[in-house]
Every structure is written in C-alpha cells, then in structure tokens.
Structure 1
C-alpha cells in the first residue's frame, strides 16, 4: 500500500456564514450593542457597537449621496485610522467595491491602481511620512479620467461626505443592502508583483467574511476580546484577520498608531488591556528588543497572530514566555485566498508553531503537487502548495489571463510556495519555488539556514538568498541585521559557527550587514530586491 497523499480538507459541523458583511455587522450590533467595537488610541476616540453601526450607516448614506452605487469602486489610500475601518464597512454596506491602496505608493503606482480598477471616489490621508497626498492626487488626476472626487480624512471634505448622509433616507440604504449577494465582489487588493504591475485580487463578501470569522474562531475570540492591530489595514492581515475576525465575534479593534511603532503597540496593549496582538515576526522582534520592554504590563494578552513569514524558534519562545501569548497562532495564506488557508491551533506545541504553518482551516482543501506534472505528491515530499474552497478569489480584476495562470480549471489556487505535508496534516513551508537556491546541483532551502543562524548571539534577524556564482551557478548569501551594530558579525565568525553543523554547500560564502530588510506591503521580506542588490557583488 502506498503512502498517503499530500491532500487534506477541513471538516466542521459549523456551517459557513451566508451573510454579507453589512448583515453580519447588523447581527453584531444587535448582539453586543454596548460593548466597544473600535478604539483609536492616538485620538482617544471610541465607539460601542451601536455607535459604530450608526457611523457606518451614516458614511454609507453619504457615499450613496455622492452617487456611489453597487459595484462602483471606492479607493482607500490611508494609514490605519478609524475612518479606514468605517470606509471598509460602509462600502460593504452598499455593495461598493473598496480598493486598498498602499499609503507608500507614489504617483506612478497610484495612477496605475486608480486607472486599472476604475476608482470613481478616493478616500485619502492628507499625508504619509512627509508625502503630500493631495499633491500626488493632483499630479495623477489627468491620467485617471474616471476619478470624480477625492475625500481627505481630517479635512472639510470628509465632513461634507458624512453630512451628505442627510440627503439619503435610511430606507434607501436598507433597500440597497437587501439587494446584495454574499458572492458579490467587495474588495480589490493589489498584490505586490515581483515582475510587472501588481494584480488586483478581487474578493467577495463570502471570501473575506468567512475567512475572518474562522481565523477568529480558531483562536477562540468572543465579545471579551480586545485585538491590538499594528498591522496595516490595507492588507488582508489588518482588514480581514483583524477587523472582520473581531466584528464577527463581537470583539474590539484597538488601533495603536497610524503605522507600526513598537513602543506605541506595547503601550496600547497595556492601556487597553488587549487580549490579542498581531504582527509579522519582524514586528515582534522590534517589540522584544525595546530597551524598556520589561516595563510594559502585557499580562492581559493570551493570544494573537503571527504571519507573513516563518517565526524563528527563539522569537516564538520569548513571545510565549515574556508576552504571555501562550495561545499565539501562526497563519499561512495569500491575498488571493482571503487570505488564510492554514493555521496552528491554540494548544499546539512550540515545534508545530515554529516548524509548521499549521493545518487546514474548516471548509478549505489543501494539496501539495509536483510543480512539473501537477500530480499530488506523497506526504513528506516537497512540492507546490495549492488551496481550494470558499476562500479562493473571484479572480484578478479585469485580467482573465493572469487569473487562469494562478487558478486552474479545478479552481485550485497555485501559491508558488514549496511545502511539505507531514503525516499529521501539518504543513511546512520550505521556500518559494523562485527562492530555492541551486548550488552546483544541490537544492538549498533558505528557510533551513535562516532558522539555524537565528540562534547565533550576534544575529537579530537574517535572510538567506542565492546570488549568481561563476562556478556553482549560485552561492549562498546571508543578509544579517546585527544585534549590536557596535559589535558586528564577521564572515569568518559566521563560517566558524556553521562549520561541522551545516553541510558545506549550505554554509554562506558571502555576508552583508544591513540595518533592515526591504519589505512588501504584507510584511514579507523582498528577497528579490536583496538578490538584485547584491547579486553583482
């Protein structure tokens, strides 16, 4: 009898939600009217579920007054703030499609996204990290003829938008909401492509509401939870795993700062008695490395989510022991799958939380296939991870050819990640198909070397990439953020540390010391940029 195949699916006696996002929020307001729904630490503003529901309804009617209808695209180009969250739920309420735009985008990227998605109304921050958003919008307006109006948060134009709600009776908004299907598109998120322009993953109410609900259910959210979100709302991590996971369970969203600040994050956890904290591993590393880390009272924490990239064992040990996050969960996903397919469970041991990205969530299928043939491989064998189910996107906005390249005829989403399924169904990510290093015919997975090097006392963070080599085809480069800039690691020290503990072909032959790594919007390190930067060295 042959070994079991790398296929699994999540079963559950709990059905998927059939709601739209607006209807689900209505249920939350009815169930938990007086509990807090949203807290903005910086401004001190707070909303109970009743108040939040009323603010969402007001903004939805304001959008209707501005001529926004079902299927129209509304762009959101802003840092984390309450208005971002209100826009998310207000657009969903009336069936408009919210288009997430990275606040770091410049004119070239902004113009492309506005034009490609057909945004008619843009909600924007006034500025981001010294960049004047108004000036950039004025610059691209001529290239975006479909853009009718821009509303700026913290500006009279925002007040005018909410005041316009008076022109639209509640009955009209209710009638629009009643005509919506949970399968309607509600969100476009642009994935940071490594080549060419980004693609607009188009997601439905059904996609993201259910994914948020199941992520929250898996870590045991109730109306007692308070979720600190230093991760960006413009990515699924913030708006789905954060906002929708919270509101579908009556929990409270806490915004610690407009963008990630480790001290502000821990201060918010302490002040608001948060029970859950999110972040990519580099965020947790930054928090743990604060000189006054021990002075923060984090005893209210019990859980949280770490995602975006693998968590080093030493970091996970500290998060559990020193941040009180005994039930912290690892999630794996991608924007195109709403995003989470695999997640560790609350009672998983340290090895499963650091060696794997969990097991399949309910109502989702996962398989691992031979990248060349598409045939499902046996468990314990490396191949491409594919996922199928309610979470797979509707497609890339207005790009059927690129959709067909990613989603096959069986509706399997091909992730591009190399993975191994264990006998217990837990999945290890061993690298990107594009990231695998081939040195002199040997296949090298950077993740293995990174895990090993993380235990070095002089290394705060490390990324391993392959760069061209005349003799071997590729050689191994370690890009290191030193723990102490005054006492940096040398290549000789690195090689001595690896000697006899790693196969010779895996030992880095080059070392680069960095202050930080280039990141994608979703918190993943841009390895392609490291390869391009140092590939000619």
Structure 2
C-alpha cells in the first residue's frame, strides 16, 4: 500500500486516515485477539469519549504506567485524540519515583496494571500525596483502589457524538502530544514536550529510511513507555499499516516461538536482544526465516553482531541509529545499503530535513571533520522544551534553535556520526539510560556513606553496567551487599550498580570535582574496563 503524500499530522486524523487506508487489515494481534485498523479507530473514539466524560480538557496530562498491551494503545490514542498529553511511566520505577513524575506532571488520570516489576502500582502509590490525581484505572484486571478499563469506557455512552467530533477536530498538529520524562545530570527528571506533527513527521521519515512496510509483522519488545516502543513502535506501525505484535514481558524462548508462529518480519531492539538470540542453543528449534528488518543502537555494536544478524539470524536489513528523547527519538540513522562496518561503527547520518554538527561546546562552532565535539541538532525533531523548566530548556536549546545533546561524537566526511563519549556521564544498560548523578544522590542517603561516584563499565550483553566507588565515614561498616540492597530498594533495577568498590578517597581535580577517567582506569585495573 502506498503512502499518501498528505499524511495527516495529528493523531486523531492519522487514526481516521489509517482506518480508510488499511481498513480491515490487522492492526494489532495479541494472543488470540485481533484488532483491525477499522476497529482500532472505533476503540480510539470510544476511549476518547470516555476521557471527555471524565472531564479531561485539552492540555491535561494523563499517565500510563503499564506493560505493552492493546489497551495501552487504545488509551493513548483516546487521550491524545482529545488533546490530552500522554505521560508514560517506566515500568521499572519504584513507587516514590513514579509519584514524583505524577506530581510534577500534574497528571489527572493514571492508567495502570495489576503488577509491575517493583510490585503492585496501586499499593506502591497508596501512601503518596498526589493532589492532582483524580482517577486510577486498571487497563486489565480489577482492584478495590481502581476503576476497571471497561467501566471507564462505559462513561463514553453519555457523550454526545457532536461533542466528541468537535474535540477530535480541535486537535492541531502543533499541539503537545506527549511528555516523556528523562533524567538529567542533576538526577531530577525532565518532562520532554513533543507535538503531534513532530511524532508523525519524524517516524514517517524514520520508517521510510529503514524500509518499514504495510506487510510487516512488527514484534514490539521495546516498552511502550520508551520512544523506541511507542513512537518507533506502534505509532510507526500505524503510519505504515504494519501489524503490531505487543510483547508484555520478554522471554527468549517465547519470542522465538512467536517469530515462527506469527512470521515476524520486523524486530528492533538493543544489541543485547540479538546477542541473546544468537547465544541461545534453543534457537535452532525455531524457524526464524521470516525476520527481515532489524534496527538497533543505544550501545556500541560489534561488527560481528551486524554480520551475524544478517548471516545467522537471516535479516535482510540491519541498521543502527542514534537519538534522544529531546530529539523526538531520532537524530541520525544508517541506510539499509551501508556496509556492515559503517553500520556497526557509526550511528548513521542525519535524518532528512535535520541538521547535525559536532560543535565546540563553548562557542558552538563546528569542529573539523574527524575531530571530537558536542553533537548539536537543529530541525523539526527538536523538542518544544522541558515541562515547567524554562532555565533547563534555555540551557539545552540555543537561541539559534540548536539542541545541545551533551553527547560527544566524531563526524566523518560523509556526515556519519560516531558517538565517543557523553558530557553528561550517562551510560546505557540494556538500552536504558542511566544517569550517575541520580544514583549517587540516592546512595548518599545510605547511613555510613561519606562520598560516592558512579560510572558505567562495559559488560556483555547489557552494553554497560554501573560501578559505584564508595568512601565510608569513619567507623562505618558496610559491605557490597548492603550498598546493592539499598540501591535496589530505592531505584529501578537497571539503575542499581552491578559492581561496588570501597576506596579511601575519590580522585578530585583542583575545583573538587571527581575525575571520572581515573575511576574508569581503576575499574580497568580490576578487570572491569
């Protein structure tokens, strides 16, 4: 099916267009349930009417804290279709972390699930002060503390069709569609604001570049709370008319079984996903020959992995990409005809219509090709700003519209980027960004800790894992297990340092800042670099 040159640039208009374009083709298949594009539009409208009945106005925030499922997509379509702002929450958060985002976003409704990684969300939030939160809704299951999704949808029956149609028509391409929270160097989460136009335009371009097709069966393992699972996931699938196959919880064997059963063609993910499949001796028990397209990134990619994805797993197309939440998820991407070494050693070149340069972070001047500089981005993909944080926005987006990514890279003569370091000290574990400042701030709360510094160290297949260097207060007695247990009790699992080293002092520069390259050297001496 060919793509219309006049693709609608608001989500409600896009869903209506997709229903006309793809009609009875399967939009979502989850277990035994199939939802056609026609039905998805109807489900989205019913959800939209329910949000209107619940008093949601244009610009109100609605949070979703749940695993990948059909109802997640229904709810997101419904709330965005009436001009509300989607606030996805990471399923690995502790209750206090989730509550902080709910408070700061002012979310009026929370849509959640019975149990997530850290426990029951409703129980985790029971003691939290959430003054703006009016409704708690379970997308599946039932609980005393929440309304069921079916009961919530029943509210739609009281909404006049003309009222609903007016609300859908009122949503403009440049209205805010979502607020995805990403931790900053201070450890305080920032709400990134992106519009309907940005989401649709960026992922139409992304899909055209990687070669997404309406015939693709798209296994979405990447979580919907992430840009990779939401925007490059089900939203891109809808733009191109692909079939969405949501994965609620990843299991290698179950994934291979589903690839065979559903003839999966599109399988994006962090490098660790493919490494796990390649290393699994049970892989030969399954027919994975349907796999066609793989998109990866988020960590360094060995050349051998790219070759093995093609030669062993059978992918026709493998590409790597680079992006951040503040760039609507995409900055640069390889092209399908790039050679394996380019795909493995670079993050591609800028997407169409976007400018990228490696700049002197002090002056903003582009550095010579082949030299390291801070990656700056300008174009339609740059966020509107951080929610309710004008100073942070001003620090991140220059007056000329350049987004300062905080990442250090090298651009070659072809315009291809190689990410070499991170100004913000961020490291990536299994595709999840981890900010040392947030982990350090948490560990300072452990009785007996005088100083702490956290770095990322390489480890396969995760990419990188955390290592904490701890200086104890005089007379204090702590062991590695105590540090790890405290971190696990206060942080999402992927933020918990895998390694802990006790040191007499931290290496400091003349201004008293920790010299993290020295810590990386210490880690290497311990065989962890």
**Shorter-chain-normalised TM-score: which range?**
0.7 to 0.9
Of 136, 154, 175 in structure 2, the residue corresponding to residue 150 of structure 1 is: 136
Alignment of 1:101-500 (within 5 A): 101-129=89-117, 131-140=119-128, 143-154=129-140, 155=142, 157-255=148-246, 257-435=247-425, 479-481=458-460
What's the offset of the Cα at 1:321?
1.3
For residue 433 of structure 1, report the CA deviation from its aligned partner.
2.5
SS across alignment from 1:160:
helix
Question: In structure 2, the residue corresponding to 1:276 is in which secondary structure?
Answer: coil
Structure 1: give runs of 5+ residues left out of the alignment: 1-13, 437-445, 448-462, 466-473, 484-517
* CA-based RMSD: 3.0
Does 2:55 correspond to 1:83? no
Determine the structure 2 residue equivalent to 1:511: none
- The 1:360–1:130 alpha-carbon spacing in structure 2 relative to 1, beyond 3 Å, is closer
Tell me if the contact between 2:95 and 2:121 (Cα under 8 Å) persists in the aligned partners: no
Q: 1:404 to 1:17 in 2, by over 3 A?
A: farther
Q: Does the CA contact (< 8 Å) of 2:93 and 2:118 recur in 1?
A: no
Secondary structure, counterpart of 1:203 in structure 2: strand
Q: 1:80 to 1:478 in 2, by over 3 A?
A: closer
**TM-score using structure 1 length:** 0.78
Decide whether aligned partners of structure 1 residues 477 and 17 sit closer, same or farther in structure 2, where only a CA change above 3 A counts. closer
On the 8 A contact 1:357/1:427 being kept in 2, the answer is yes
SS at match of 1:420: strand
Distance 1:381 1:175, change over 3 A: same
Task: Determine helix, strand or coil for the equivalent of 1:222.
Answer: coil
Aligned partners of 1:405 and 1:77: how far apart in 2?
A: 30
- Distance apart, 1:17 and its partner CA: 5.0
Helix, strand or coil at the partner of 1:428: strand
* Alpha-carbon offset, residue 422 of structure 1: 0.9
2:81 corresponds to which residue? 93
Deviation at 1:170, TM superposition (A): 2.7
Cα shift at 1:260: 2.5
Q: Which runs of 5+ in 2 are unaligned?
A: 429-433, 437-452, 463-486, 503-518, 524-529
Other structure's SS at 1:98 match = strand
Aligned residues: 449
Provide the rounded CA distance (Å) in 1 between the counterparts of 2:461 and 2:53: 54
Aligned equivalents of 2:277, 2:46: Cα separation in 1:
37
Distance 1:302 1:524, change over 3 A: farther
> Higher relative contact order by CA 8 Å / sep ≥ 6: 1 or 2?
1
Which runs of 4 or more aligned residues in structure 1 lie more than 3 Å from their structure 2 counterparts after TM superposition? 14-18, 476-483, 523-526, 528-537
1:419, 1:525 → 2: CA distance? Answer: 25
